[in-house]
């Protein structure tokens, strides 16, 4: 019998965790240099970031709340990546997912209870899946670059979202910030017992575990990875590339859409412009930091969630703008890609 620890160990050693830790260290050093250039003490800021992310049970809960959606939005990049497609329109699927949950949730009878919540979340997954599925279909049948098209689709989604939220779907009672009608309290997601962390965290963890299982333990996932590695070999084996490509994009989009829906049901309660806060874009970073490995996403989402949780802390105590965290995230992304150059195993890489 293979224990979970052994599985994890095998997976971790395959990902070349040394190069990854080196990359994170390099990003920390670059960030420290950046802070010195800004006339700040790097030790003070970095220590406070650690405390803000993981220093107390309050900090941990804040970190977990931010990590929960990242688990799902990362899958929007990770799942198509197994087939060799680079998808970066996660934020668009997230927005439409949130909107779908708002619309359906506010129109179903509250007496439906948990069933109404589940239906509203299913609508989010369908909306996100359709949206990213379009990028997959464009790639498969017209050869349209899915990286560019998925990001263009985000700009379309954002325009449509604003139009609907400030126009036809607006709750007339939302005066300062135009919003949709809020979900009835019967459909709101509850927190895990004894914490402020919502149940979406468990959904995210389950989705990552499932993605790992499908891609690394089933025939379907194996076929998908063959198509991703070598299109011609896949064709020789008679694998249905079109189904796999469009399906992977749709499932990835469904994950990001579901994340947006959960965000509405657990935290925002209604859709408005504040939903476009970059969670989808951070998901891209998480997927690349995890080198497109589903189990590594569990750790990396925690790290990036912690980074974002520490943002308010850094802003308040060190008088640094909130974009400081974005600078650090950008440095992390660049360092991790740089680390590919120093990797020994020939199998990995996203090239």
Tell me which stretch binds another protein (CB under 8 A): 118-126, 201-209, 213-221, 319-327. 319-327
Q: Which residues share a beta bridge with 154?
A: none
Min. distance of Cβ 151 from another protein in angstroms? 6
Residues 13, 195, 230, 350: which binds another protein (CB under 8 A)?
350
- 263 lies in the site for another protein, by CB under 8 A: no
Is the Cβ of residue 119 or residue 327 nearer to another protein in the bound state? 327
Q: How far apart are CA 109 and CA 100, in angstroms?
A: 16
Residues 63, 149, 180, 310: which binds another protein (CB under 8 A)?
149
How does DSSP assign 150-209, residue by residue?
A: HHHHHHHHHHHHHHHHHTTTB-TT--SS--BPPPPGGGPPPBPTTSS-BTHHHHHHHHHH
**Closest C-alpha among 137, 101, 141 to residue 263:** 101
- 160 lies in the site for another protein, by CB under 8 A: yes
Tell me which stretch binds another protein (CB under 8 A): 57-65, 108-116, 145-153, 248-256. 145-153
- 29 lies in the site for another protein, by CB under 8 A: no
- 39 lies in the site for another protein, by CB under 8 A: no
Residues 8, 86, 122, 192: which binds another protein (CB under 8 A)?
86
Residues 33, 44, 58, 155: which binds another protein (CB under 8 A)?
155
Min. distance of Cβ 217 from another protein in angstroms? 27
Min. distance of Cβ 15 from another protein in angstroms? 15
Is the Cβ of residue 88 or residue 197 nearer to another protein in the bound state? 88
- 48 lies in the site for another protein, by CB under 8 A: no
Given a contact cutoff of 8 angstroms between Cβ atoms, the answer to whether 53 and 63 are in contact is yes
Min. distance of Cβ 349 from another protein in angstroms? 5
What b/e string do you get for 143-177 counting C-beta neighbours within 10 Å, with b at 16 or more?
A: ebebeebbbbbbeebbeebeebbeeebebeebeee
How does DSSP assign 267-294, residue by residue?
A: IISS--GGG-SSHHHHHHHHHHHTTT-H
| Residue 134, Cβ density class (10 Å: 0-12 exposed, 13-18 middle, ≥19 buried) | buried
Residues 57, 159, 202, 274: which binds another protein (CB under 8 A)?
159
Q: How far apart are CA 215 and CA 228, in angstroms?
A: 11
Residues 11, 61, 191, 326: which binds another protein (CB under 8 A)?
326
Please give the size of the binding site for another protein, defined by CB under 8 A: 47
- 338 lies in the site for another protein, by CB under 8 A: yes
Q: Which of residues 184-223 bind another protein (CB under 8 A)?
A: none
What is the maximum span of the chain, computed from C-alpha positions, in angstroms?
A: 61
- Which residues does 57 contact at the CB level (< 8 Å), separation at least 6? none
Q: How far apart are CA 157 and CA 100, in angstroms?
A: 12
- 331 lies in the site for another protein, by CB under 8 A: yes
**Closest C-alpha among 248, 249, 268, 271 to residue 96:** 271
- Rounded-to-10 torsion of CA 199, 203, 209, 214: 170
- 131 lies in the site for another protein, by CB under 8 A: no
Given a contact cutoff of 8 angstroms between Cβ atoms, the answer to whether 302 and 142 are in contact is no
- 313 lies in the site for another protein, by CB under 8 A: no
Is the Cβ of residue 281 or residue 313 nearer to another protein in the bound state? 281
Site string for another protein, 269-288 (x = CB under 8 A): ------------x--xx--x
Residues lying near another protein in the complex (CB under 8 A): 86, 88, 138-139, 141-149, 151-153, 155-156, 158-160, 162-163, 166-167, 281, 284-285, 288, 321, 323-324, 326-327, 329-331, 333-334, 337-338, 340-341, 343, 349-351
């Amino acid at each position: 019998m293979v224990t979970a620890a052994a599985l994890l160990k095998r997976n971790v050693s395959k990902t070349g965790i040394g190069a990854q830790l080196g990359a994170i260290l390099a990003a920390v050093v670059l960030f420290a240099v950046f802070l010195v250039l800004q006339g700040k003490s790097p030790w003070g800021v970095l220590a406070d970031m650690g405390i803000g992310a993981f220093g107390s049970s309050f900090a941990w809960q804040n970190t977990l709340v931010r990590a929960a959606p990242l688990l799902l939005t990362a899958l929007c990049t990770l799942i198509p990546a197994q087939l060799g497609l680079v998808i970066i329109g996660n934020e668009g699927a997230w927005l439409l997912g949130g909107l779908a949950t708002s619309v359906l949730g506010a129109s179903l009878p509250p007496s439906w209870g948990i069933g109404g919540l589940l239906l509203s979340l299913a609508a989010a997954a369908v909306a996100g899946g359709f949206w990213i599925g379009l990028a997959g279909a464009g790639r498969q049948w017209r050869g349209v670059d899915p990286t560019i098209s998925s990001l263009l689709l985000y700009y379309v989604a954002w325009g449509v979202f604003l139009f609907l939220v400030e126009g036809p779907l607006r709750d007339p009672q939302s005066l300062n910030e135009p919003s949709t009608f809020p979900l009835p309290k019967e459909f709101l997601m509850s927190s895990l017992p004894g914490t402020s962390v919502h149940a979406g965290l468990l959904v995210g963890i389950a989705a990552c575990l499932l993605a790992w299982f499908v891609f690394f333990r089933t025939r379907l996932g194996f076929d998908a990875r063959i198509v991703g590695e070598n299109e011609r070999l896949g064709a020789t084996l008679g694998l249905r590339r079109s189904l796999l490509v469009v399906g992977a994009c749709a499932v990835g989009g469904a994950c990001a859409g579901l994340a947006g829906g959960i965000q509405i049901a657990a935290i925002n309660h209604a859709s408005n412009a504040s939903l476009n806060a970059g969670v989808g874009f951070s998901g891209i970073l998480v997927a690349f930091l995890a080198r497109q490995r589903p189990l590594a996403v569990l750790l990396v989402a925690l790290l990036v969630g912690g980074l974002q949780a520490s943002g308010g802390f850094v802003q308040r105590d060190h008088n640094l703008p909130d974009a400081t965290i974005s600078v650090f995230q950008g440095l992390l992304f660049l360092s991790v890609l740089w680390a590919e150059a120093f990797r020994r195993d020939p199998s990995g890489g996203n090239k």
